[in-house]
Structure 1
Amino acid sequence: MPAAARPLAAALFVASLALAGCQDRETQAAAQAQAQAAAAEQQAIAGERDFEAAVAAENWALAKAQADVLLSRHPYTEAAGRVRAKFDEVRRRGDAVREQARTAALWSYDTRPADGGQQVSAAIYARDPVDVDGRGAKPVRLIFRDHPSWGRSSYLVLEAGDFDCYPSCRVEVAIDDAAPRRMAANRPQTDEAIAMFIDDEKALWRLLDGAKTVSIVFPVEAGGTRTVVFEVAGLDRARMPGWE
């Protein structure tokens, strides 16, 4: 080889080595990326199995948590795509379960001895306290009671102020977005409790079946009317036997 050509040949040789090295690095990087993608897919498949197991058990809160983890860690996997397609339904069901638990916890139930038998009651506080006498908002309760001597009754209880319903009045009762209906009520002449009875307790009890909210507009001694809203969807009707 002529001496003048030797530098060019050397340069080409070095360039070929560099190109080969670059190709090797690209091949290695591609292989590494492929391995990482395969590992991510396997991990996602494991997460998908946990998700599907929670769905099969109808444990919607757990299913949503499993989906959240999978979609966060491995969002571009095929398993994530399959889970994502079911995610909205799982979230809807989970939200419904949480809402049912929340509204169920709003009710309290009591059974106690009374007049040789048992008094059974179901009670719930209004969603928001109400100012009935100008001295600040106070809680209002709705109570259904079954007493061995006094029978069945439904009534509102105040912690302050008083009802303007003696000896009788009318209240407006509305279920969800339905038009209100007027119902007879009365304030007994007693100082034992600030209570106002809604006379047709059976009708009120029936109205609550399947309802989400019930609002009651009642007159107060301080003047005018007040409105209370109760979130009644969580009522366990079985806790008041014989009312159906």
Structure 2
Amino acid sequence: MILALAVCGAILLPACKRSDPQAEAAAAAAKTAAAEDAAKQSAAAFDDAVSKQNWPLAKAQADVLLAQYPDTEAARRVRAQFDEVKAKADAMREQTRMASLWSYNSETVEGGQQLSASIYAKEDIDTDGSGAKPVRLIFRDHPSWGKSAYLVLQAGDFDCYGGCRVPVTLDDKPAKTLPASRPKTDEAIAMFIDDERALWRMTKGAKVMRIEFPTKAVGKKTAVFEVGGLDRSKLPGWD
């Protein structure tokens, strides 16, 4: 009987312990203070990125702050700016992506330096019935031949030897037609936009350019170019 009471006493002993409200409150306050301090440091990193207009980094700092310390004063302040920062970060990433689509080249040729800027169509195009292949748009500045803009195919041919007019569409604006021609040469499958300066000017402020062109084998096709990332300084004297 005595042994049984002793066992029961051992079992009931933890239940007899009383919590200390003051100690619990102090622990909770310390935890909250630590979270606020950590959130302030994270918010400072966010503010620094915003001041430098590094929007992707600012968004990343905000993501971490809002995920780890959502109930802090710093989080409430940053949350009020989040949508604006996210929009700017998305725009900067998109601009960087479009800029990476362009290639630039400087080549020493007879008479001086040849400069060029080129971009591939967003999607490959079937230009001869054998399957989709890349189509490229090139702006070139040659010391002897001058300025030119042209499309280049990897297969098939343009149906523009006697000259033609090609519709060019910028974003959602109505199409404009420009004169074009296919030179009588087998060195490259190219079709020149005869008003190259007009085509160059049309890229300014545009995100997407669509050029419809005639082919010998499969009729008219349209190449879509994301031109918004063009670095215009690479071809000085064109604007």
1:242 is aligned to 237
Give the fraction of aligned pairs with identical amino acids, expressed as a percent: 59
Largest Rg, 1 or 2: 1
How much does 1:115 deviate? 2.0
* Distance of 1:29 and 1:130 partners within structure 2: 69
Cα RMSD for the two superposed structures: 1.4
TM-score normalised by length of structure 1: 0.89
Contact 2:129 2:218 in 1 (8 A): no
**For residues 130-187 of structure 1, what are the alpha-carbon distances to aligned partners after superposition, in whole Å with 9 as ceiling and x for unaligned?**
0111111000000011111111110000001111111211111001100111111100
Whether 1:115 aligns to 2:110 is yes
* Distance of 1:55 and 1:101 partners within structure 2: 18
Moved more, 129-138 or 113-122: 113-122
Whether 1:190 aligns to 2:185 is yes
The one-letter amino acid of 2:181's match is N
TM-score normalised by length of structure 2: 0.91
Moved more, 162-171 or 187-196: 162-171
* Distance of 1:113 and 1:221 partners within structure 2: 35
Aligned length: 225
1:227 is aligned to 222
| SS of equivalent to 2:66 | helix
Whether 1:201 aligns to 2:201 is no
How much does 1:38 deviate? 1.2
How much does 1:30 deviate? 2.2
Structure 2: runs of 5 or more not aligned: 1-15
Structure 1: runs of 5 or more not aligned: 1-17
Runs of 4+ displaced beyond 6 Å = none
| SS of equivalent to 1:192 | coil
**For residues 28-70 of structure 1, what are the alpha-carbon distances to aligned partners after superposition, in whole Å with 9 as ceiling and x for unaligned?**
2222112111111111111111111111111112111111111
Any residues of structure 2 matched to 1:83-232 within 5 Å, and which? Answer: 83-232=78-227
Moved more, 59-68 or 71-80: 59-68
* Distance of 1:42 and 1:151 partners within structure 2: 63
How much does 1:100 deviate? 1.2
How much does 1:220 deviate? 0.5
2:44 pairs with one of 25, 29, 49? 49
